[in-house]
Amino acid sequence: MQCNALHEAGYDIVVYDNLSNSSHEAINRVSMLIGQPVEFIKGDIRDAESLKKIFSAHHFFGVIHFAGLKAVGESVAKPLLYYNNNVSGTITLLEVMKEHSVKNLVFSSSATVYGDPESLPIDESSKRSCTNPYGQRKLTVEHILEDLAVSDDSWNLIALRYFNPVGAHPSGEIGEDPNDIPNNLMSYIFQVAVGKLDKLIIFGNDCPTVDGTGVRDFIHVTDLAQGHVAALNYLDKQASLNEDSMTQNSVGFLPINLGTGKGTSVLELVSAFLDVSGQAIPYQFTDRRAGDIASRYASADKAKTLLGWQAELLITDMCQDTWRWQSMNPNGYNVS
């Protein structure tokens, strides 16, 4: 998804991934959609030598850093893995970037850094606090980036805080296909729609929300991808301004929410999914999940003001594109 958006925006890209939770078939499909092969290197973010080789062979403007493990449950069971991959991996990347004087970075952060918000909508100055190791490591990386920006003003570091990404590429060719059991709301709704699960278990109907069910700010992955392009364009514009004026105005550490600014409840999402798929989604209420936040949605003003970006796609688009991807690829990227 991201490669397509960057290619359309005129960027040349190199993809570096250890394929621990992705597939070469996804790269093939991206190449097919953009009409030319994507340069892909299989490697691990913790492998400094491998990174150095790539940075020596290319003249990069910047890096979009997505290389993080992202399962909350796994982060509780394997905290060292999350320190190692998500934190040490980031440090290794930053060291190699520094060595090669590549100082522009867009980092995948998460709305999870806000924990249980004190007020809504959540803007970027809201207090940060996390309760699970996954979120804490996102926060650790944000702290590292902040320290780095203070230590050296030639760094330009944008942390994009994603709200709840859903959807798939509108072609139905690219979508999410995790190795582990998918465990977010949309994937459960889909499994009920295709009969893999009898019913959706809804965690609580007594939240202080529009209908008692949890509220989240769902954002289409196409909009999310455009948000990264806008962030990179912003860094590019800053670099040009500096070149023109021969000054050094660094971006420093810049956190930006990527959300729609609108909350949607679990029941509203179920109803939208029924509308686009025609599949009934039986459900049953149970107790609220331990640690679950009742309501979370973004203030997306900063992204609009600074990056000129705002989400365009609706909940129906998110459901439609998820349904198309899943229906066309019942086994994900496993095409054999």
Alpha carbons 179 and 43: distance in angstroms, whole number? 18
For residues 93 and 266, which CB has a smaller minimum distance to ligand UDP in the complex?
266
Residue from 134, 234, 283, 297 carrying the catalytic annotation: 134
For residues 152 and 287, which CB has a smaller minimum distance to ligand UDP in the complex?
287
Nearest approach in angstroms of CB 113 to ligand UDP is 12
Residues 263 and 297 sit within 8 Å (Cβ to Cβ): yes
Nearest approach in angstroms of CB 145 to ligand UDP is 23
For residues 171 and 184, which CB has a smaller minimum distance to ligand UDP in the complex?
184
Binding residues for ligand UDP (CB under 6 A): 164, 184-185, 188, 201-203, 214, 216, 266, 289, 292
| Ranges assigned E (strand) in the chain | 14-17, 39-42, 63-65, 104-110, 156-162, 164-166, 200-203, 215-216, 218-220, 252-258, 264-265, 283-286
DSSP SS3 for 51 = helix
Nearest approach in angstroms of CB 270 to ligand UDP is 9
- 135 Cβ neighbours under 8 A, 6+ residues apart: 72, 110, 112, 113, 115
Alpha carbons 326 and 137: distance in angstroms, whole number? 31
- Catalytic, 234? Answer no
What φ, ψ does residue 100 adopt, rounded to 5°?
A: -105, 15
**Listed residue (121, 134, 175, 166) closest to 332, CA to CA:** 175
Nearest approach in angstroms of CB 129 to ligand UDP is 15
> Could you tell me the two tokens for 182?
């998918």
For residues 40 and 134, which CB has a smaller minimum distance to ligand UDP in the complex?
134
Position closest to ligand UDP via CB: 214
Q: Supply the residues annotated as catalytic.
A: 134
